[in-house]
Structure 1
Amino acid sequence: MSVMGNWTARLTELGVELPEVAKPLASYVPAVRSGNHVHTAGQLPLVSGTLSATGKVGDDVDPDTARRMARICTLNALAAVNSVVELDSLAGVVKVVGFVASAEGFTGQPSVLNGASELLGEVFGESGAHARSAVGVAELPMGAPVEVELIAEIADGH
Structure 2
Amino acid sequence: MTPEERLAELGLTLPEVVPPVAAYVPAVRTGNLVYTSGQVPMVEGKLAAGGKLGAGVSLEQGYEMSRICALNALAALKAEVGDLSKVVRIVKVVVFVASDPSFTDQPKVGNGASELLGEVLGEAGRHARSAVGVAALPLDAPVEVELIAEVG
Q: TM-score with structure 2 length normalisation?
A: 0.96
Distance 2:12 2:144 in 1: 20
| C-alpha contact 1:102 1:136 (8 A) present in aligned 2 | yes
Q: Check if 1:37 corresponds to 2:33.
A: yes
Tell me which residue corresponds to 1:16: 12
| C-alpha contact 1:66 1:145 (8 A) present in aligned 2 | yes
Amino acid at match of 1:53: A
Identity of aligned residues (%): 60
**Structure 2 unaligned runs (5+)?**
none
Q: Check if 1:129 corresponds to 2:122.
A: no
**Structure 1 unaligned runs (5+)?**
none
Q: Identify which of 109, 116, 120 aligns with 1:112.
A: 109
Q: TM-score with structure 1 length normalisation?
A: 0.93
Q: Check if 1:69 corresponds to 2:65.
A: yes
Deviations 1:134-155 (A, max 9, x none): 0000000000000000011102
Please report the RMSD computed on the Cα atoms of aligned residues, expressed in angstroms. 0.9
Amino acid at match of 1:76: N
Amino acid at match of 2:12: V
Runs of 4+ that moved beyond 4 A: none
Distance 1:10 1:145 in 2: 27
| C-alpha contact 1:54 1:60 (8 A) present in aligned 2 | no
Tell me which residue corresponds to 1:153: 150
Q: Offset at 1:92?
A: 2.2
Deviations 1:31-71 (A, max 9, x none): 01111011000000000111111111011100110100000
